[in-house]
């Protein structure tokens, strides 16, 4: 299996995920909309133990309606959004699809937090849509 590799715009932050994503999705929560400046963030979920990161990320935290704390990591130098974490899913990291060296490898399977979505934010109508984040198995 070929690793998933990527990083920030300036090259200061790099990552390598040595596994397939557990899930690939579009997140339409308001926090993702704000950090991307778009209708959603395209993310891949990986086991944290399988991801190697170099460089410095700066994290900011927000509290979700679930009570979980979401942390979004941006490069300390160029401020590119690279990664997210959630206290509700402590063993995984969410890597942004746009930060991949080969972004064409991203294949979303669903849309989450669709209750916050907008009609102008087109997503593939064949994707499974969840109003909130579905529970983990």
> What is the tens place of the pLDDT at every residue in 66-102?
788 999 999 999 999 999 999 988 999 999 999 999 9
Q: What's the pLDDT score for residue 137? A: 56
Spatial separation of the C-alpha atoms in residues 70 and 31, rounded to whole Å = 9
Residue 9, domain member (yes or no): yes
Residue 135, domain member (yes or no): no
Taking residues 15-27, report their average pLDDT. Answer: 96
Residue 58 has pLDDT above 80, yes or no: yes
Q: What domain count does the chain have? A: 1
Residue 16, domain member (yes or no): yes
Instruction: Write down the pTM of the prediction.
Output: 0.91
Closest among 112, 125, 126 to 32, alpha carbons compared: 112
Which domain range does residue 97 map to?
4-129
Q: Which two tokens stand for residue 35?
A: 């950090």
Taking residues 31-50, report their average pLDDT. Answer: 95
Closest among 13, 10, 3, 2 to 82, alpha carbons compared: 13
Spatial separation of the C-alpha atoms in residues 132 and 17, rounded to whole Å = 26
Averaged pLDDT of the chain: 94
CATH at residue 65: 2.170.150.70
């Amino acid at each position: 299996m070929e690793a998933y590799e990527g990083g920030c715009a300036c090259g200061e932050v790099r990552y390598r995920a040595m596994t397939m994503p557990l899930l690939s999705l579009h997140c339409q929560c308001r926090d993702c909309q704000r950090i991307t400046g778009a209708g959603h963030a395209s993310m891949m979920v990986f086991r944290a133990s399988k991801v190697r990161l170099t460089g410095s990320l700066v994290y900011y935290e927000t509290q979700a309606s679930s009570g979980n704390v979401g942390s979004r990591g941006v490069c300390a130098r160029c401020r590119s959004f690279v990664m997210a974490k959630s206290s509700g899913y402590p063993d995984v990291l969410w890597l942004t699809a746009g930060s991949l060296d080969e972004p064409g490898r991203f294949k979303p399977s669903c849309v989450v937090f669709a209750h916050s979505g907008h009609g102008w934010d087109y997503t593939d109508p064949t994707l499974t849509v969840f109003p909130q984040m579905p529970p983990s198995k």
